[in-house]
Amino acid sequence: MRRSEMEQDILKVLVTEEDLRSRVAELGEALYERLEGKDPLFLGVLKGCFMFMADLVRACQLECEVEFMSLSSYRSSTVSSGKVEITQNLTKDIANRHIVIVEDILDSGTTLAFLKQYLEKKGAASITIVTLLDKPSRRTKAVTADLSGFQVPDEFVVGYGLDYAQRYRNIPYIGVLKPEVYAG
Ligand code: IMP
Ligand code: MG
């Protein structure tokens, strides 16, 4: 098979498509166990969540609603600035709802610490954080995921929804980006 031009920028594959499929299935099952009968609202954090969210809601046989928010944390190149702004908000009241936050990667924790507090203020009945990837070595905020797909080392990763400068989101696996791509 032809390697796409995008894939020439990948240093190594971290999580294969097969690993993604089986782990997402497990996460879907775990969410079912936790939230059966609670009419949860799956809240995806755009844009990185879009592929994971689509697979996760299908892997989870719960009756549920979906919502999306966009949060911008003013990242310069590959590092978060610590300030978060809502660039696309909820379209409905979430008071007394059981929320499942669906995130691509938990890095410094800035984004999810902000979002969790925001949803608490809006009166969420419960908040379950599901992140596909967790980079615990980089955490600066006290936030932990309730469910996480894979722990990743302190390397910049792309694919399966995750981007660098809005590209590489459609690579079907998780790969480490060659540092020269963002250093140059
Ligand atoms: P945090 O606020 O520092 O936890 O960062 C969260 C957001 O930064 C994630 O939702 C991603 O969009 C982005 N991010 C952090 N690390 C990476 C990475 O290695 N690759 C791609 N995006 C990342
Ligand atoms: Mg994200």
pTM for the whole structure: 0.94
**Of 9, 101, 107, best ligand 1 pocket probe by most atoms within 8 Å of the beta carbon:** 107
Separation CA 9–CA 24 (nearest Å): 26
Banded model confidence at residue 127, pLDDT cuts 50, 70, 90: very high
pLDDT in tens, 30-67: 999 999 999 999 999 999 999 999 999 999 999 999 99
Is 60:33 a contact under the CB 8 Å cutoff? no
Provide φ and ψ at 153, rounded to 5°. Answer: -75, 175
Separation of 105 CA from ligand 2 center, angstroms? 6
Catalytic residue among 9, 55, 104, 107: 107
Question: Residue 79 pLDDT > 90, yes or no?
Answer: no
160 C-beta closer than 6 A to ligand 1 = no
Taking only the tens place, the pLDDT of each residue in 155-182 is: 999 999 999 999 999 999 999 999 999 9
**69: β partners:** 45
Tell how far the Cα of 53 is from the centroid of ligand 1, in angstroms: 16
Q: pLDDT tens digits, residue range 1-36?
A: 566 889 999 999 999 999 999 999 999 999 999 999
Distance, C-alpha 127 to centroid of its chain = 15
